[in-house]
Amino acid sequence: MPAWTDLLRDIADFPKPGILFKDITPVLADANGFAHAVAAMAAPWRDASLDAVVGVEARGFILGAALARELGVGFVPVRKPGKLPAHTLSLDYGLEYGRDRLEIHADALPTGARVIVIDDVLATGGTLKAAVQLVEQQGAIVIGTGVLVELGFLAARATWDHAAPLHAAAIY
Residue 99: its pLDDT value, please? 85
Catalytic hit among 59, 79, 103, 150: 59
Q: Taking 70 as the threshold, does the pLDDT of residue 123 lie above it?
A: yes
- The answer to whether 138 and 90 are in contact (CB under 8 A) is no
Tens digits of residue pLDDT in 137-162: 999 999 999 999 999 999 999 999 89
Over the chain, what is the mean pLDDT? 95
Percentage of residues in the chain with pLDDT exceeding 70? 99
59 is annotated as an active-site residue: yes
Neighbour-count burial for 148-172, b at 16+ CB within 10 Å, e otherwise: bbbbeebebeeebebebebbbbbeb
Q: Which helix (H) or strand (E) holds 131?
A: helix 126-137
Determine which one of 96, 114, 136, 157 is catalytic: 96
Mean per-residue pLDDT for 99-110?
95
Beta-carbon-side half-sphere exposure of residue 116 (alpha carbons within 13 Å): 31
What pLDDT is stored for residue 137 in this prediction?
Answer: 94
Please tell me whether the peptide bond between 2 and the residue prior to it is cis, using omega within 30 degrees of 0. no
Task: Specify the pLDDT at position 96.
Answer: 64
Q: Assess whether pLDDT exceeds 90 at residue 2.
A: no
**For residue range 72-89, what is the model confidence (pLDDT) as tens digits?**
999 999 999 999 999 999
Q: What is the mean pLDDT of residues 95-100?
A: 75
Residue 139 CA to residue 159 CA, distance in Å, equals: 23
pTM for this entry: 0.94
Q: Given 3-state DSSP classes, what are the helix, strand and coil percentages for the chain, each rounded to the nearest 5? A: 35, 35, 30
**Class of the CATH domain delimited by 48-171:** alpha beta
Strand partners of residue 74: 52
Please give the pLDDT value at position 97: 67
The rounded distance, in Å, linking the Cα atoms of 79 and 89 is: 11
